[in-house]
Structure formats: structure tokens, C-alpha cells
Chain A
């Protein structure tokens, strides 16, 4: 290996490390601030090591947000159900688009893809109106049903299925006496688990972090999801920063946990299909 390449490598490592520090700093300070009092946090310079105010901060959090655990539970419920429904419907639609010929197929597919072009906030007011019309305000259904299937997921599944499952495999199953739905769950699903992992993770994170959706349809504090609840904490005159930090820290734990067990798969899945391999 030449010196030039070594030097390049060193520079690359330095740049990546610097980037990592910049990205991770807010996380670190979130955990640090969770253990300091408001005055401690607002002092100059701010604290950079853990303090001993964590229990008080947590009590403040519960004072301000009496439904905190309910909010977490609701977020979890919505995210899990949305993810499961997404996996089911996106894979079914993706399978149909990848394997079958039917009338208006291209037209339908373009139509679905076009929905990705619409900015999400464009749907805020119509969503609020529809949900109040059908009486779904403050109902988790209002978050789950509209998000049960999405253009991005359908696209991802279609691409993955088209590259991972040869048409002859489906035909072989048909010759082996499988009805169509059985082909889907006995042959297709086992072969697309990597895509399930990726789409599942993306959907879960998206749902967990979703702020705008619940903002329009949830106005009862008990029915707030966690981003909404934490935001409510900041609208109360003197902002209890320590409580905000500990709330955020707790809210981030499920995602952190998911990342630890699935980051490898997420990266693999995002690049799968890009190159046939």
C-alpha cells in the first residue's frame, strides 16, 4: 500500500470521526441535561458531565404530563400496528406490481408514485376535516388507517420482489398446486424478509417520530403521541429543560434499541436492489 493511499485513509477517518462527533453531540447533551436542574443547564458554560438531578426532572415531567406513560404506550401501539399493516399491504401491492399483468397497471403505478410528490402538510386540513366528519378525532385509527400503506413502501417492495424473486419461481409454485395467496405467504414472504426488515424499521421510526399527523387529529392530551406530548411541555411559560431532556431521552430509547439490533440490516436493505448481487 502506498503512502498516498494511507494518507487518504487517515483524512477519511478524521472527517468521518468529526462528522460522528457533531451528529452525536446533541444526543449526548440530551442525556447530560436530563440529569441537571434548569439553572444548571442554563449556566455558562453548560455542564458536560452527568449530574444528580434526574429524579427531580422525572417528577417534573410527570407533573406536567400526567399521561406520559399512556402517551408512550399509544405511540408504541400506533407505530407497531402501522408497521405491521404497512408490511402486509405494501408487500401485497408490490408483489402484484412486480409479478402480475393487469389492466391499467402502469397507470395505477404512476398514480401511486405521484402521491410521493405531494408535500405532507398539504393534507393536514383535509385530514382534520375528514377525521372530524367520520368521528375519528382522538382515535388512534385516525393515525393508523391513513398510514397503513404508502407509495414509498410499495415502490420498495416492488423493486425488491422484482429483483429477488424470479417469475419462474412463482410459476413453479403454481404448478406445484399453490393457490395465489398461498404462493404469497409460502414462497414470496420467506424470500423478502430483508425488505420487511428495512421497510419495517423505516415505517416504525416514521410513525414514532410523526409530529404533524397527530397534531391535526389528536387534541386530547391523553391521546397525544410522544412527540406531541414533549412539544406540549415546551408551551408552558418557564420551560423545564431538564424534564424535556429526560422525556426526549426516554422517547429515544425504543429507537436506539431498534437501531442496535437492526442497523446492519437497514443499511443492507437500503442498498439492496441498487446493484444485483
Chain B
């Protein structure tokens, strides 16, 4: 039962700032995903909250308590590590029960609690095995079981699925979601995978080079990215963004009345259409482009085009790879994004 608050949180390694004055309020029971490219400071932020890393500046609150200088034990946080970090010399049951043992929970009660958790995670037949005799997915479950068995204030996950294959990842994603709905504890989940972020998060926090770029619900972040970084980071294939460098472009996008230098425009590959009929809404516009290549991805086709010397990608449901030459691409004007010279979104 706890909220979490970062206030001007900072971390420097030597003179290198890694986390730069982060401010964030997380409500009790929320599922927060920290999303960002590798090296942006996600793990460091999480580890500072866990108490595994010292804080260079700012404050961390769990509930109403300032925890800056508390030992991990006193923070009552559970963490699932990327490498699982299971104790190789202990059985599955001992791994799950270790924290209870440290809390001096009586043996019979401990065994019941371990068995209950094992039941939920379908680990019961494996309780006497050592970690080396488990598959990747099973190890992942044990790591989760170890976190679940005591009732922590906050669950931390550091890229817990990145060592699993794609199929297992999808399955575990669902289980983590289900788990959260069941225990209703605050979860902070670190990943660089936008699919995990979109599917799991109540709110996504986009981190870049130690700074928060945007905080919002998944749909909000997808539909209304605050800047070029977020616009490009979320969505696949990434949003087409290019500088408005000549009059033709201003008139194509019907921006002639706006007079900004250094502006760029963005439109997602899914929002460009070959047929006018496919475009939803009524503010329909078009651009003329030239096909330079195609890439078939089973159910969809990526068409690479050139428009006014800029490269564009269009994603369509047609799988006709013979498309070539000049094409006309239709779009809804409300689905374009306009960025100023500082790469920030211009609200429209």
C-alpha cells in the first residue's frame, strides 16, 4: 500500500550525470513503466528506489516516508532482476522462501506461503529442483515468486522478460498483468521494449539520457507525443518526421498560413493511405511520392518512398509488392504532428 515519489532525483557516476533531476509521482497501485533506450538511466533509477544505489541528489518517498538513507530491508520493496539472480545452491522452495526466513517467519507458515505462491505460478512440481535444472521461463517464474511471497509495498521489475524468447515473453506479459490486477500493489517496471510498455502500463514514463521526456497513458503518448524523441521512440515502424524545407511542402500540408522556420512535420506510417476511401475523417489531404522499395512483412507491406528528397515509409494492409513509380498518399490532416525548431510538439 504505497505511493512513490521522486523529487529532483539525481545520480552521478563520478562527474557523469546519469539521472538528471527526475520528478515523478506514482500513485498507490499504479503500474508504471519506465521506458527508454539502453543506457538512459532506467536501471539506475530503479536501483536508487530499491536502495541498492546511493542517491547523488534529491529525495525519494515511499508513502509519506523519506527513504533516501534507508537500507533495502527497511524499504519493503521486492525486485525481479533481469538475470533472475536465483540462488544456485538453493532449491526453488528455498529460493522463494528465503526472504521469509530472513523475516523470521515460522517454518510451517513459511512452507504454506511458499506453496501458495508456487500454486499461483504453477511451480508446485518444481519446488525441489535447483535453478540450473529449470528452463528460462521457469526461472523467471521463480524470480517472480520470490518477489511475491512477502507482501511488499512496491514491486520492481528490471527488464524481466528480455532473456526470454518472443512467444514466452507474450505469455509472461499477460501473467504479469494478471498478477498486478490480483495483488493491486504498486509496480515499477523497466523495459526498452515499447510493446511491453504499451500493453502493461497504466502510465508510461519515457526516459532519455537521464531525463523524463514524457509521462502519460499509453494511448496519450502514442497519439500526442510531446516531442520528436517520443514520437520516434513509440510506434513501429517509426514516425516519418522531416524538416519542412520548401514552399511545396508547406502547401501540401496546408501550413502556408503558419510562418515558422525550422519546423518539421511528422506522420505515422499507418496514417498514410494509397486510397482516399481508406482515410477516416474529413480533413483529407495528399502528397505525391515515388516508390523506392518495398518490404513484405507477412500481413502488411512497408512501402519506402521518396517525397521531396525526404524518405517516407508507408504501412499498408495490401500485400501487392509490385507497386512502383509515382503514387499519391492520402492522410487525415489531424493525424500529422508539427514540431518546432527545438523538436517540441506545436499544439494544434
Contact = CB atoms under 8 A, between A and B. Distances in A.
A173 B52 CA distance: 11
B245 interface: no
A187 B87 contact: yes
Interface stretch (A108-116, A176-184, A251-259): A176-184
A231 interface: no
Interface size class of A (residues with CB under 8 A): 10 to 19
Q: Taking each of B50, B99, B103, which has the highest tally of chain A beta carbons within 10 Å of its own beta carbon?
A: B99
Contact of A191 (B73, B83, B88, B99): B88
A190 B77 CA distance: 26
Contacts of B86: 172
A175 B87 contact: no
A181 to B, nearest CB: 12
A174 B50 CA distance: 10
B89 A176 contact: no
Interface stretch (A152-160, A163-171, A240-248): A163-171
Q: Is the interface of A mostly helix, strand, loop or mixed?
A: helix
Interface in B244-262: none
B73 A172 contact: no
Contacts, number: 47
B52 A176 contact: no
Contacts of A182: 102
A177 B102 contact: yes
Contact of B103 (A168, A175, A177, A179): A177
A191 B131 CA distance: 14
A169 B89 contact: no
Contact of A171 (B78, B81, B102, B103): B81
B11 interface: no
Contacts of A174: 51-52, 72-73
B98 interface: yes
Interface string B73-111: 100011101110111110000000011001100000000
28 contacts: A166-B83, A166-B85, A168-B81, A168-B83, A168-B85, A169-B85, A169-B87, A171-B52, A171-B79, A171-B81, A171-B85, A172-B79, A172-B86, A172-B146, A173-B87, A173-B98, A174-B72, A175-B52, A175-B72, A175-B77, A175-B78, A176-B99, A177-B102, A178-B102, A179-B73, A182-B102, A190-B89, A191-B88
Given A174-B72, A178-B102, 19 more contacts: A166-B83, A168-B82, A168-B83, A169-B85, A171-B85, A172-B79, A174-B51, A174-B73, A175-B50, A175-B52, A175-B78, A175-B99, A176-B98, A176-B146, A177-B72, A177-B102, A177-B103, A179-B73, A187-B87
Interface of A: 166, 168-169, 171-179, 182, 187, 190-191
